[in-house]
Amino acid sequence: MNQQTLSLFEDRAAIVKALAHPTRLFIVDELAKGERCVCDLREEIGADMSTVSRHLSVLKKAGIVGDTKRGLQVFYRLRVPCILNFFTCIEAVLRENAQRHQWHMGETDTVSTVSCSAKNCTS
Amino acid sequence: MNQQTLSLFEDRAAIVKALAHPTRLFIVDELAKGERCVCDLREEIGADMSTVSRHLSVLKKAGIVGDTKRGLQVFYRLRVPCILNFFTCIEAVLRENAQRHQWHMGETDTVSTVSCSAKNCTS
DNA sequence: TGCCTATTTGGCATTATAGCCAAATAGTCA
DNA sequence: TGACTATTTGGCTATAATGCCAAATAGGCA
């Protein structure tokens, strides 16, 4: 891998890493419904406010969310809605994994290549 | 967040985490072109074979790739092609971030919500 | 069988991430 | 101004991820 290719994939990985946490995926899902202040999210998530704030800063640094301060509160929103497509495909993977465990329990070779075209799939 | 919601987002995060590494994203990109054995990937990536094998096992455990042994070699392939949609949206985020840095250098508030509908966008 | 090749796995050191508490910051309002 | 609220940040510890080497495994072939 040359330097240019490497840095392309590093940039991409930085975005994916920012999403790679259950709490942050939950936040993205929430923000898909509309703006939320940190206190709203803190309540729904049930973690320390400082923890929620840190998760938000990770998402913000990656450019996935944006924020606006109004009065005492800071409101966060999704900057790039196509992030929501991730969920669709992830669900397809999860469905596949469920079937795999059901059908080929313990088998090493996983031959089938699966299309996620069933529903909500953009592939 | 109740237990059920939590575990849904944990399952999703497990998939995203498996993708959250430059080498693994590169592998997914390569496999999109067709089957590859570990040695092919090792050569392209230029890392230790054991490192590449570990990355592949992460992807396999998440259900993103499948493998078949033929003779001495193990061939890997993408199980769920919609994973490729990730790249499209990630590129949109990267484009946005580039513009953000260009336009609002140093500004705190990032107001615009952006659609990635320009090209290759499935949102 | 014995040797070779491709791949995986154990073990370890290094680095990154997560989450909490406490302290700092910034805006509001009496 | 001073008290109060919402949020962020510093500092710390605990846990997870990464990458390498060396050893183990598994198939092929003389």
CA atoms of A92 and B83, how far apart (whole Å): 9
Q: How confident is the model at residue B66 (pLDDT cuts 50, 70, 90)?
A: very high
Q: What angle, 0 to 180 degrees and rounded to 10, lies between the N-to-C axes of helices B22-31 and B38-45?
A: 130
Q: What residues of B are in contact with residue A6 (Cβ under 8 Å)?
A: 22
Distance between terminal CA atoms of chain A? 27
A residues 59..98 contacting B (CB < 8 A): 60, 62-64, 66-69, 77-94, 96-97
**Proximity of residue A12 CB to strand C below 7 A:** no
Q: Going edge to edge, which strands form the sheet with B73-78?
A: B36-37, B73-78, B65-70
Topology, domain A3-79 = Arc Repressor Mutant, subunit A (1.10.10)
Region(s) of chain A under CATH 1.10.10.10: 3-79
The count of residues in chain B is 123
Structure tokens at A52: 């929620």
Distance between terminal CA atoms of chain B? 27
**Proximity of residue A51 CB to strand C below 7 A:** yes
Q: Give the mean model confidence (pLDDT) for residues B10-36.
A: 97
pLDDT in tens, chain A (123 residues): 888 999 999 999 999 999 999 999 999 999 999 999 999 999 999 999 999 999 999 999 999 999 999 999 999 999 999 998 888 999 999 999 998 777 655 444 444 454 443 333 333
User: CB under 8 Å to A34, separation ≥6 — which residues?
Assistant: A77
Q: What is the pLDDT of residues A34-65, one digit of tens each?
A: 999 999 999 999 999 999 999 999 999 999 99
Average pLDDT, chain A: 86
**Proximity of residue A23 CB to strand C below 7 A:** yes
Tracing tokens 């929103």 back to the chain, one arrives at A77
Q: What is the pLDDT of residues B76-91, one digit of tens each?
A: 999 999 998 888 999 9
Q: What is the pLDDT of residues B92-115, one digit of tens each?
A: 999 989 987 776 554 444 444 444
